[in-house]
Amino acid sequence: MLPIFFGVTIPGAVRSYHLEPVSLGKDLALMQRIANGDGEAFAELVRRYTRMLYNVAYRYNASSAEDLVQESFLRAYQHANTFSGRSKVSSWLYRICVNVCLTHQGKSGVPMADIDDVNEAELVSRTEDRPDATAVRGETFRELEDGLRALPSQQRMVFILRELQGLSYGEIADILGMNEQAARTNLCRAKRRLQVWLDPLIS
């Protein structure tokens, strides 16, 4: 039952069990050059896909995002010869990054308050009365990121891949090693919780 990732067993990681469309020829050629130790080819891969992976890693764990991206590219470089071309390079990299994120135990970085330090009147106030309700959109996005990090990891990753990266349910199912219905269920649960989390800002 445990995923085997590039021949290395990774606890908590997931394994794809779907075949994907055949990769474009130029992607396959790029990966073959990387597998042969071509540093320029790897640099091209990094320039093409760093932003994509950084967005996933940052939404998953902002404080470790750079480390997560570097680790993902390191694994891609080390195992470039295992890329078979049955999937898009982007899907292959997503899968690596997701496994790196899911196996990384990081702190959320969310500031914490002691309940005794909070004014009672504020605690029982209606949500629209809270200072948060006047937050600007940038603050709302930060709240969303905090809410994301409070989600169970699987829900968090489905939300990131679907809503922020725009992947199809089929791609998400393949990357996370689940069926499409499970991806939809995880997304619904994630949205319900995030909506509650952000209630003061969207009421």
Partner 1 sequence: MECSEALDLLYSSFDGQITPTQQSLLDGHRRTCFACASSMIKAERFQELIRHVPQLTVPRGLEQRIINRVVHGSSSSTPSDKVRSITTAARQNWRQASAFGGVLAAALAVGVYVHNASLPVSGPPLVAAVQGALETIDNGTSQTVANGTMDITGGSTVANTSINPAVVALTAHLNMTLQGGSQVHFERVATDPKTGNVNEIDVHVDRGGVQVHEDLHHEASPIKIATDQATVVPTGTTFSVDQRLTGTHVTVNKGSVAVYTAGRVMNLLAGQGMMIAANGGVLRDKPVKPTTTPTKDIVTKQHS
19 binds partner 1 (CB under 8 A): no
Among residues 9 and 26, whose Cβ is nearest to partner 1? 9
- Residues of this chain, 178-197, that bind partner 1 according to CB under 8 A: 178-179, 181-182, 184-189, 191-197
> CA 76 to CA 34: how far, in whole Å?
9
CB of 112 to partner 1, least distance (A): 5
Q: What is the dihedral of CA 28, 29, 30, 31, to 10 degrees?
A: 50
Instruction: Sort 134 into a burial class: Cβ within 10 Å, 0-12 / 13-18 / 19+.
Output: exposed
CB of 176 to partner 1, least distance (A): 6
- Residues of this chain, 27-66, that bind partner 1 according to CB under 8 A: 39, 42-43, 46-47, 50-51, 54-55, 58, 64, 66
* Residue linked to tokens 């909070």: 118
14 SS3 class: coil
CB of 81 to partner 1, least distance (A): 13
Q: Is 12 left (phi over 0), alpha (psi -120 to 50) or beta?
A: left
Interacting span for partner 1 (CB under 8 A) from 8-16, 18-26, 86-94: 8-16
- Residues of this chain, 134-163, that bind partner 1 according to CB under 8 A: 137, 140-141, 143-144, 146-147, 150-155, 163
CB of 13 to partner 1, least distance (A): 7
> CA 187 to CA 184: how far, in whole Å?
5
> CA 184 to CA 159: how far, in whole Å?
10
Among residues 17 and 22, whose Cβ is nearest to partner 1? 17
